[in-house]
Structure 1
């Protein structure tokens, strides 16, 4: 039986040719000519004051908080229902992540929850475009502007998505992208910081390279330049090999996103009317990048059993994403009930640009069968009392 993986990268001959060019260039390390070209393309795409290519999105989030001046003890409100990279980044700089609950329909951070968490130590907000769906940035920006807070867009999953006609990655003054293997475009690993402020970009670029200027630039200076370390930095550089792959992938965004959208439309049609799950909701003012396709199972469904049935048929699946406030590392009693409920009941089914129509049909059919086989009938209170009488 052919397997249908949960995720699969779309990499081919164009990407291989770009890598071969880098191999012959003599510069494969970070911040070389391909990295610089990628940064220019990203800045142009997002109309930004600067873009910094880095090793992953977690690095971009860390650099963003450093550039924005977050200090130990500062509180940063973060979306709860997501991979915990934003909260981790807040901890990297000694800050305190404060978890905001999410909307039940979209899984994106709830602006009302954010507004209720602003306090005297709050310095900013990190919103997340949950599995590829942009958050409510008009409302979030109104809140952050009112209180003088920064706003960061974690657009790790959302390359190609839009909100009110603007592309994800350009929805806040600072945005962070991911090019991990399961994202819409990928170099295996990688990330970028996108910002409207050139000074923030320059700060992040310096910190991404141990606190010194580009070694590639230094190597082109006649004489014997000696770098001076003026600040503590990190090894967050993106190799020119990865940058070359991403230049190709960036040109393919539209093509790859169209294929994901076709798969999502197929699922929506084939699973319509299934009472044991709820399909993803996309508000009319935005579009989804479909990094993942999450369905919400009814409380009567045994999710683990459904997953076991799917995997037995060669179909990949996962739990969705995380309710960060429940993770032991944060040791918080702060409630986020909507996030916790989604964490308990959502299921990720295969979503990538390599899915065929036949595979989408097979996933939907197998999922329907598994739901019926692993659902307990609900018993009303009245029926139970009548039986006891």
Structure 2
């Protein structure tokens, strides 16, 4: 049997607009990080996220770390972290010298459960770091109420959430700070990259200084010789990447529409399939569908299903991590909902380049793999 070409799990939508934007940067002579193209992208991205300020960074992990540093997080502190997430979230807390305390997630959205957050707060807790799973925001009104009640800051890991909303408010505007990713599988991409956004100018300026070795970036700094009075890092986004992201922002409405069309097609096809549960799209949110995660029936062997899909030419993988099970974080208390999702979630192709015919081929392959 001849297997058709593989349908990839993710694929960026890039072409002539991105090439033209890069050519303009080449012509400008400023390719380095934190330059004029970065500043223009930051202004546009702040507008998209409904915030006053944005800082372009090398990736989402650096945005998370810079945000925690700007908040003053350090040794002896504890941060409550949503458990079901790529470990970059917990890693940023460890890199800050603090301790992540993981909170379990809701069994429908797999975003942090407000009751679990409340239960995880202790005398050393300084803040709450929640995750928009697959881009869909969690219960931010409840998170804010908990943070305010305990005098804590609230940080949104919005890595996958560009273009998402919660009760009409854009992802990024839902917390004191938010961090985004522009990795190749995200809704908009420059291959890599990130952003930190906030209405708090002081926090963003602290982050801006430390993201450039501890001094103001060269663009717009003036002629005075900079003085290094604190430790900083090189977490700048290049102007070449910023140019690509500017073109991607122009595409964002059509990219979101294409992903939502695929998600609707998947959900309609899989809703009546007993072997899987379709992802919840909560009614007061706009889901950007960075990933489409099916929850397999408990009796199914996910490894066998993955192998069956790959044999049929379908890109696929597990969902994301139950962070508390990762050895880097040491001994953690059990978090059953997150652990169960880690065992059963299956990610199938989701990107704006999927045709209807490809989506139907994915649907047929999933049906075949779970019945095999």
Please indicate the TM-score interval, normalised by the length of the shorter structure.
Answer: over 0.9
Residue 104 of structure 1 corresponds to 107
- SS of 2:10's partner is coil
Deviations 1:204-228 (A, max 9, x none): 000000011111234xx4xx64221
How much has 1:4 moved relative to structure 2? 0.2
Q: Distance in 1 between matches of 2:46 and 2:7?
A: 36
Q: Distance in 2 between matches of 1:120 and 1:152?
A: 19
Deviations 1:326-368 (A, max 9, x none): 0011112311110000000010000000000011100011110
Q: Distance in 1 between matches of 2:265 and 2:96?
A: 43
Structure 1: gaps (5+ residues): 374-389
Residue 47 (structure 1) aligned with residue 50 (structure 2):
yes
Q: Distance in 2 between matches of 1:346 and 1:371?
A: 13
CA root-mean-square deviation: 0.9
- SS of 1:309's partner is helix
Q: Distance in 1 between matches of 2:51 and 2:305?
A: 44
How much has 1:17 moved relative to structure 2? 0.4
How much has 1:49 moved relative to structure 2? 2.8
Residue 332 of structure 1 corresponds to 331
How much has 1:3 moved relative to structure 2? 1.3
- SS of 1:261's partner is helix
How much has 1:146 moved relative to structure 2? 0.3
Residue 367 (structure 1) aligned with residue 370 (structure 2):
no
Structure 2: gaps (5+ residues): none
Residue 173 (structure 1) aligned with residue 172 (structure 2):
no
Residue 158 of structure 2 corresponds to 155
Aligned with 1:196 (options 188, 195, 199):
199
Q: Distance in 2 between matches of 1:200 and 1:252?
A: 30
How much has 1:272 moved relative to structure 2? 2.1
Residue 211 of structure 2 corresponds to 208
- SS of 1:329's partner is helix
Q: Distance in 2 between matches of 1:33 and 1:299?
A: 52
Checking the alignment, whether the CA contact within 8 Å between 2:63 and 2:194 is kept in structure 1 is yes
Residue 237 of structure 2 corresponds to 238
- Runs of 4 or more consecutive aligned structure 1 residues displaced over 3 Å after TM superposition: none
Aligned with 2:75 (options 48, 65, 72):
72
Q: Distance in 1 between matches of 2:107 and 2:241?
A: 37
Residue 65 of structure 2 corresponds to 62
- SS of 1:217's partner is coil
Residue 122 (structure 1) aligned with residue 122 (structure 2):
no
Residue 258 (structure 1) aligned with residue 257 (structure 2):
yes
How much has 1:203 moved relative to structure 2? 0.5
How much has 1:44 moved relative to structure 2? 2.4
Residue 38 of structure 2 corresponds to 35
How much has 1:32 moved relative to structure 2? 0.7
Residue 88 of structure 2 corresponds to 85
The count of aligned residue pairs is: 369
Q: Distance in 1 between matches of 2:308 and 2:49?
A: 43
What TM-score, normalized to structure 2? 0.98
- Following superposition of structure 1 onto structure 2, how do residues 276-291 of structure 1 map, counting pairs within 5 Å? 276-291=275-290
Deviations 1:130-188 (A, max 9, x none): 01111100000000000000000110001111111111111112111110100000000
| Pair member with larger Rg | 1
